[in-house]
Amino acid sequence: MSRKLSAAFFQRPDVLTISRDLLGKHLYTHIDGVLTAGRIVETEAYRHEGDQSLTLHLQRKRHQAQGLHVPGGHAYIYTVYNRHALFNIATHDAQHPDAVLIRAIEPLIGVEEMLRRRGLAKPVRALTAGPGVLSQALGITPALTGQPVTGDIIWFEDHAEAVAEADVLASARVGLAYAGGEAAGLPWRFRLRDSKWTSPAK
């Protein structure tokens, strides 16, 4: 039996635990009258303390990053390279601007619509394996920043899948060389070990 995740799930203080716990959960969107969903197979955690990458993000995108100073359980979406929308969930509380980035899902519901949005002919890894393509497939845009991820537009469900620690790969996050060696090396990228839908290893 599935159940929708409540705001309390995202308002816990440890963003690493939240990021890891999202593996195996299901992400849903209902946009333009179309339901799409997939099983989460990869996430990254970002913590405002001890994480230079997030510190720099908060400084560089000061106005936009106000979207992280909210109670946990709200969408935070920003664009990189002027085209890729990255879907994050604000966690903890307004005083602790932590976030989880959803990096990849296994597509399950509304696959035909996902293919149309992505301009692909058949379900291949490139459909949803990466944060930018995932957002495109699910219809997620920066206009949804601030939306609760517990409502009827974006939400998460627990389908009672138990993910064993042995099935989780923890490694360095992607594309953070600019933040310096310490932040770039933090093992805060979590993947399901045997999933073919995770984004390419880097």
DSSP conformation letters of 63-103:
TGGGGGSS-SSEEEEEEETTTEEEEEEEES-TTS-EEEEEE
The Cα-based distances of 193 to 92, 109, 181, 189 in angstroms read: 27, 22, 25, 12
Residue 94 lies in a domain: yes
Q: Say yes or no to pLDDT of 8 above 60.
A: yes
Residue 199 lies in a domain: no
More confident residue, 186 or 75: 75
Residue 81 lies in a domain: yes
Residue 202 lies in a domain: no
108 neighbors 37 (Cβ within 8 angstroms): yes
Q: Say yes or no to pLDDT of 168 above 60.
A: yes
Provide the CATH number for the domain around residue 12: 3.10.300.10
Residue 179: predicted pLDDT? 55
Average pLDDT over residues 133-160: 96
pLDDT band at 200 (very low <50, low <70, confident <90, very high): confident
CA trace torsion 114, 198, 70, 186 (10° rounding):
-160
Q: Which domain holds residue 128?
A: 3-192
pLDDT band at 165 (very low <50, low <70, confident <90, very high): very high
Question: What is the overall mean pLDDT for the chain?
Answer: 89
Residue 89 lies in a domain: yes
Average pLDDT over residues 4-32: 97
Residue 84 lies in a domain: yes
* Count of domains forming the chain: 1
User: Of 94-98, 116-120, 142-146, which range is least confident?
Assistant: 94-98
Residue 38 lies in a domain: yes
Residue 186: predicted pLDDT? 85
Residue 172: predicted pLDDT? 84
Residue 25 lies in a domain: yes
What's the predicted TM-score (pTM) here?
0.92
- Own/partner pairs, 169-176, CB within 8 angstroms, 24+ separation: 169/193, 170/20, 171/201, 173/44, 173/53, 174/44, 174/103, 174/199, 174/202, 175/202, 176/53
Q: Say yes or no to pLDDT of 180 above 60.
A: no
